[in-house]
Chain A
Amino acid sequence: SQQGEEDPQALSIQEGENATMNCSYKTSINNLQWYRQNSGRGLVHLILIRSNEREKHSGRLRVTLDTSKKSSSLLITASRAADTASYFCATDGEAAGNKLTFGGGTRVLVKP
């Protein structure tokens, strides 16, 4: 079963625009992570936000976490064609034995 669910499932934007995707989860968590996957490749870690944090930045990435709503968002600013990929949120909570469980992902297409 998947703890996190991303929304939207797919997103198409022009280069230079911002991309926002959301993740909702069901049970309490220790932390939430976002990963990126280029087509058919391995996943690459982007950012980790702990349950006691509300916002975190890394380069053009901004992640927010609202534990009261059990949701997170990932914002990619000034998108580039190279940002075209699938983005997954992942959570680890006691319900999953502290193991990382992934959502279904958001497929982002950045058109040049």
Chain B
Amino acid sequence: ETGVTQSPTHLIKTRGQQVTLRCSSQSGHNTVSWYQQALGQGPQFIFQYYREEENGRGNFPPRFSGLQFPNYSSELNVNALELDDSALYLCASSFSSGRAPTGELFFGEGSRLTVL
């Protein structure tokens, strides 16, 4: 148990719809990172939030957006869903000082999104 919780655990959407995934960080952590993991692949970095601001972004289009709240929980929003967005979305929390090298990440169990 990492103390990181994600919701929902599974969801099915159709192409063109929008989805919001939620993540509750481990107590004491100020940084949240989101990853997309396609079946059989390694996790791909989407973006990171540090103290409610985006602190780095991977190679994902703008229709992937996020928020971090004052309690350090976070949301991942994906607009105009495409079939290739089907994946396991992983949230990871950590404590950092922003630009410092990344230490250990604590992952949630993920939200499995299927786009039909």
Contacts and interface: CB of A to CB of B under 8 A. Distances in A.
Given A1-B59, A42-B2, A100 B45 contact: yes
A45 B43 CA distance: 14
A100 B100 CA distance: 12
A41 to B, nearest CB: 6
B41 A104 contact: yes
Interface in B98-116: 99-110, 112
Interface in A53-112: 88, 92, 96-105
A42 B108 contact: yes
Given A31-B102, A40-B112, A42-B108, 16 more contacts: A2-B42, A31-B101, A31-B103, A35-B105, A40-B88, A40-B110, A41-B110, A42-B110, A43-B90, A43-B107, A92-B101, A92-B102, A99-B58, A100-B45, A100-B105, A103-B42
Contacts of B59: 1
A104 B58 CA distance: 16
Interface of B: 2, 4, 33, 35, 41-45, 48, 56, 58-59, 88, 90, 92, 99-110, 112
A108 to B, nearest CB: 14
Contacts of A101: 45
Specify the main secondary structure of chain B where it touches its partner.
loop
Contacts of B90: 42-43
B101 A98 contact: yes
Interface size class of A (residues with CB under 8 A): 20 to 34
A45 B106 contact: yes
Nearest to A29: B101
